[in-house]
């Protein structure tokens, strides 16, 4: 994944928050990073361990809460999280912890959901306007109807404020197949993605330095 730049972290200390099945985590290990993976889900950690074993890399995986990271200050060169932080009950608290465990000059790379997006508009049309509830806040509709209960989505301005303790903050919306979902498991052809401006993408890619 270009955003992660796995090979860039060879020999460096990496923390991934929310490893899931370990797809990215294994890539960090294969690239030679000293990577620790963290997840609240025991099932996810089990799958990530199996993935690491299949790829013949040694996993260091923990069951822990990102709002209370069990690491000393200034431990990591990179904290990476893909599509996880917006599920945290207290995103601001999690980012404070990320900032704490990063070394000076260290970097956070994270993907958050984007509220000013085509996906969010589709959510409003289906669950708000389509159910004759046009005045329900969009954030409430997203929290109730997209993925797990409480899912959050942010504007670029809100995301920048969340990362205010960091420096050199770069935020970039990107379009993916999820922006043109036709049904639950059916997506529009990839060529149609060119018709959607990146500023309406569901994914906000964020890079910030301590």
Q: Which two tokens stand for residue 155?
A: 């504007």
pLDDT digits (tens, 9 = 90+) for 18-49: 999 999 999 999 999 999 999 999 999 999 99
State the pLDDT at residue 184.
64
- State pLDDT tens for residues 175-197: 988 887 766 667 677 777 778 89
> pLDDT tens across 127-140, in order?
999 999 999 999 99
Architecture of domain 6-113+152-178+202-209 in CATH? Answer: 3-Layer(aba) Sandwich (3.40)
pTM over 0.75: yes
Q: Say what the pLDDT of residue 100 is.
A: 98
Specify whether the backbone of 5 is left (phi greater than 0), alpha (psi in -120 to 50) or beta: left
Confidence at residue 189, expressed as pLDDT on a 0 to 100 scale: 75
């Amino acid at each position: 994944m270009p955003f992660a730049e796995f090979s860039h972290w060879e020999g460096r200390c990496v923390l991934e928050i929310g490893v899931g099945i370990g797809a990215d985590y294994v890539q960090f290990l294969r690239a030679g990073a000293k990577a620790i993976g963290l997840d609240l889900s025991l099932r996810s950690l089990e799958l990530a361990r199996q993935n690491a074993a299949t790829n013949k890399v040694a996993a260091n995986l923990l069951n822990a809460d990102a709002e209370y990271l069990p690491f000393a200050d200034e431990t990591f060169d990179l904290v990476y999280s893909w599509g996880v932080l917006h599920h945290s009950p207290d995103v601001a608290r999690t980012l404070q912890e990320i900032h704490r465990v990063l070394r000076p000059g260290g970097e956070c790379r994270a993907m958050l959901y984007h509220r000013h997006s085509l996906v969010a508009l589709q959510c409003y049309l289906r669950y708000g306007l389509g159910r004759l509830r046009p005045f329900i806040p969009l954030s409430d509709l997203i929290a109730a109807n997209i993925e797990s209960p409480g899912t959050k989505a942010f504007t670029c301005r809100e995301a920048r404020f969340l990362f205010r303790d960091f420096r050199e903050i770069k935020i970039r919306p990107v379009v993916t197949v999820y922006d043109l979902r036709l049904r639950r498991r059916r997506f529009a052809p990839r060529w149609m993605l060119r018709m959607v401006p990146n500023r309406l993408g569901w994914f906000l890619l964020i890079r910030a330095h301590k």
